[in-house]
Amino acid sequence: MVGGWTHVYDGYWGTWRPASFPCNKQSYNAARGTMELVGMPISAFRLRIEPYQGGGDDTAINGIQWTGFTYCPDNTYICGLQVKMEAPQGWGDDTALNGLAIACCGFPVNNSTAVVSTTNITTSTNGDRSCLTLETGDNAQTVGTRVLQYLCANSPRQLFVFTSQPTGEYTITTVPSGLCVVPKDGGTAQGTGVVLNTCRGSRTEMWAVTPLGGNRYHIRSAHANRCFDVSWGVATDGAVIQLIDCYATNNQVVKLNLPTRSTTTGIQTKTS
């Protein structure tokens, strides 16, 4: 975060709630030797509020009057939000949401430190025993090859390279072909499959990797805004990896290593 919280509107009532970082991404800072929070490209916020009414009825953030825009500093972006809420007042005057603060973060300027991991992806549907796997017995990776779930086997077709981008998102490529993992046919619908395609630098190749703790993550398509999901949450080999609305369920939780230096490892799924 650059500096402290920037208050868009500091209401008169209530207390500040815990911060939320909806676009929580991490990038390696070579100078500090740490992974740091990186935001997405939103640079300003404004609200519609009701000014303080004195002895009258106060409704605060309710669409009555626009505030001016509150901007992050140059070359920084909004990466977190914090709201101020007043608890129910019983028979008193309830104002509810009446304050907003933003956190500003800077993007990495040197992408040479961006390749963070060559790893396997472990799913959570089979007790950390299954991995994302390319649908090819001899690792003959081609455009259109599907990504499925199989038992982890220390196989090249279970290795993926995560490369962070200046936006804080990642591309996911395969070893050794270097093909990109993308939504099938650039789709965005529920149930869209995940396949390999030639890397072209398009939005379909970008993935948001959200840490959940304990080396576990959600992998969300920046293009479709849906998460990696083991179809039906089954533990069996051959289960299709698809894109589904993001939920806190085991079929969408994966385990992988995102170290601060390049390394070779595996990505394990967690489907049971």
pLDDT digits over 87-110, tens only? 666 666 666 666 777 777 665 545
pLDDT at 23 over 70: no
In CATH, the number for domain 114-271 is 2.80.10.50
Q: What is the pLDDT of residues 114-147, one digit of tens each?
A: 556 788 899 999 999 999 999 877 777 899 999 9
Pick the more confident residue, 89 or 236. 236
Q: Residue 226: its pLDDT value, please?
A: 93
Collapse the DSSP code of 104 into the 3-class scheme (helix H, G, I; strand E, B; otherwise coil) and give the result. Answer: strand
**pLDDT tier, 259 (very low <50, low <70, confident <90, very high otherwise):** very low
Q: Residue 114: its pLDDT value, please?
A: 52
**Residue spans per domain, the chain:** 6-108, 114-271
Collapse the DSSP code of 186 into the 3-class scheme (helix H, G, I; strand E, B; otherwise coil) and give the result. Answer: helix
Q: How far is CA 248 from CA 29, 197, 220, 244, in A?
A: 29, 28, 13, 12
